[in-house]
Amino acid sequence: MPNASIISIASHLPERKLSNEELIEKFPDWDVDKIYKKTGIRERAIVESDQTSLDLAYHSSIKLFQSGVIKPNQIDMILLCTQSPDYFLPSSACILQKRLELPTNCGALDFNLGCSGFIYGLALAKGLIESQQAKNILLITAETYTKYLDPEDRSVRTLFGDGAATTLISSSSTENAIGTPVLGTDGSGAENLIVEGGASRFPDHKPTLKMNGSEILNFTLESIPLCISRLLEQENRTLDSFDYVVFHQANSFILTQLQRKLKIPKNKFCINMQEYGNTVGSTIPMALNRAHLDGEIKSGDEILLCGFGVGYSWGATIIKWP
């Protein structure tokens, strides 16, 4: 049976930046240091009104091809994770197949998940490769949540930024390069992070993101330690046996709570979203790339990944860095 392995990651951010300095002009009772201290974010990348998640996905994928790691005609599957698609239909992945000039024998699908999306994408890619339905998969996470934000809602405007990441996952002889994931769902939390308007239930309402931050924190503190325990039990491992740990980079406040609660050594725990904010499904691949550039991870390292958020939906797995 073939194994699935992450080969390379490329990412793309919009050019326009929203700094903490700009935010305090709008919300003068906050200060720059307070925003940074609580969120770990200095600036976010924001799309212009005529840019979409599909555009970001296109650019991150072109960067991957430009790196020379693979040719477009070798790709046989696109898995595109987004909650801000260009259209209700067709799938963004189908349009992307044409824009990237990928072969027509390439499968393509969108899947609708947020901050757990990268882990679910790894799970799908692993299944498709191990069952020999695909050999070279583009797993793309692309979001423009900022289009959904109420300009007056400072709690979400400080957190979210736009961006996309393209991860190449290929059939490989390396053993267990993507481990068996642990996945979870609790739809009882749906209303705590939601965009209600614009779709079938409330077609006449403006799509606006609503977040209950305290409920999201409760969910995270209760569910993620259990998710990690399940993974460690499944793999018969301990947390200190990993070279590095990358959780969804929601904000530094939540990450610090999880690091403390799970007693993960600080030097092995990634907190890095200061230049782009919470880019939803792309935070994990972006953080992995940054950690590699910064020398925090090297080839062969075993890395524990965990994504969690809107749904509620969560997942964790282990990868071996290429």
The contact set with other proteins (CB under 8 A) reads 38, 155, 213-215, 217-218, 221-222, 253, 257, 260-261
CA proximity to 246, closest of 237, 238, 255, 254: 255
Nearer to other proteins, 16 or 37 (CB): 37
Identify the active-site residue in 248, 251, 272, 306. Answer: 248
Helix residue ranges per DSSP H, the chain: 20-26, 32-39, 53-66, 92-99, 117-130, 154-157, 213-235, 252-261, 283-293
CA dist 317 and 169 (Å) reads 15
Question: Which of 192, 251, 272, 278 is flagged as catalytic?
Answer: 278
| 188 vs 218, beta carbon nearer other proteins | 218
User: Residue 223 Cβ, how far from other proteins at the closest point, in Å?
Assistant: 10
Least Å from the CB of residue 234 to other proteins = 24
CB of 108 to other proteins, least distance (A): 39
- C-alpha span between 211 and 16 (Å, rounded): 24
Distance, in Å, from the CA atom of 173 to the CA atom of 104, rounded to the nearest integer, reads 27
**Residue closer to other proteins, measured from CB, 199 or 221:** 221
Q: Name the residue type at position 22.
A: E
Radius of gyration of the chain (CA): 19
- Please confirm, yes or no, whether 251 is among the known catalytic residues: no
Angle at 64 between CA 54 and CA 294, to 5 degrees: 110
Give me the least distance between CB of 38 and other proteins, in Å please.
Answer: 6
Q: Which is nearer to other proteins, 217 or 239 (CB)?
A: 217
Whether 115 sits among the annotated catalytic residues: the reply is yes
Query: Strand, coil or helix: what is 55?
Result: helix
Catalytic residue among 115, 227, 270, 306: 115
Q: Which sequence positions are flagged as catalytic?
A: 115, 248, 278
